[in-house]
Structure 1
Amino acid sequence: MTGAERLRVVVAGPDGPGGHRAVALARALRDAGAEVVLTGAAAAAGRLAATAVQEDADAVVVTDPPPGLPAGLLAGLAAAGAGDVTVAVLGDPGDAPAGVLALPDGTPPDDVVAALLRTP
């Protein structure tokens, strides 16, 4: 990504009170100059991968993903020819496979932004 390009990020997190981290992250990304699509709950990896492809995203960040979602998301992106999209998990990475950027609980939104900007 060059300085002239804007980071495009799809952010997904649980609906309801637990979704506050996804909203805070989306705001921090926006404030850092990224274009953000906030999707709400990430219930289906295939749908989230399709959204990332449709939005021409550089990254997808999922807060508190359900089991299997990160692996399914990587597979869906690869199948769609978008294997270069960065996948990050904020919170418990659970069963996240290699290739997923794992950011532990309590990672400040600004640190998430910095990590995404460092990721090729």
Structure 2
Amino acid sequence: MNKTLNRPIRVLVAKVGLDGHDRGAKVIATSLRDAGMEVIYTGLRQTPEMVVNTALQEDVDAIGVSILSGAHMTVFPKIINIMKEKQLTDVLLTGGGIIPDADIKKLQDMGVGGLFPPGTPMANIVEYITNWVTENRNF
């Protein structure tokens, strides 16, 4: 069944913690915007609580976390837990950065969606978010 949305997909792009490298996040944000999505970029040094609160306020379909600091096994579980506490269970949590394959599997088992390493073609990320949102948030 071919579903389509009658509205733009809303994505929050976030940088969490002390990771000050945001060039990749800005490239992702621009590419998602160019693909027709509405993008909210949090800027640097956000806490997991700030990210989830912004996602609630902005009524986003997806949260994309860019992480290069090695703190992915702390950041993603915290965000997932806060999302569950705030009943934000119908929003995709995805992201990318430097994350070992074994950790990607563990994070996905916790409920994190697709995670994309550096060099992933932007079309793959756009397609993944678009497909997830049309299947899970078509309202």
When normalised by structure 1's length, the TM-score is 0.86
More helix by share: 2
Aligned residues: 118
Question: Which amino acid in structure 2 is aligned with residue 12 of structure 1?
Answer: A
- Tell me, yes or no, if the aligned pair for 1:42 and 1:48 is still in contact at 8 Å: no
What is the Cα-based RMSD across aligned positions, in Å?
1.9
When normalised by structure 2's length, the TM-score is 0.75
Please name the residue that 2:85 is paired with. 79
- Tell me, yes or no, if the aligned pair for 1:9 and 1:34 is still in contact at 8 Å: yes
Aligned pairs for 1:29-44 within 5 A:
29-44=32-47
Counterpart among 8, 29, 32 of residue 10 in structure 2: 8
The unaligned stretches of length 5 or more in structure 2 are none
- Report the more deviating stretch, 38-47 or 66-75: 38-47
The unaligned stretches of length 5 or more in structure 1 are none
Q: Does 1:107 align with 2:120?
A: yes
- Tell me, yes or no, if the aligned pair for 1:24 and 1:109 is still in contact at 8 Å: no
CA gap 1:73/1:39 in 2 versus in 1, 3 angstroms = same
Q: In structure 1, what is the Cα distance between the partners aligned to 2:118 and 2:50? A: 25
CA gap 1:3/1:97 in 2 versus in 1, 3 angstroms = closer
Q: Residue 81 of structure 1: SS of its match in structure 2?
A: coil
Q: Does 1:50 align with 2:53?
A: yes
Q: Does 1:24 align with 2:27?
A: yes
Which has the larger Rg? 2
Ranges of 4+ aligned residues in structure 1 off by more than 6 Å: none
- Tell me, yes or no, if the aligned pair for 1:53 and 1:77 is still in contact at 8 Å: no
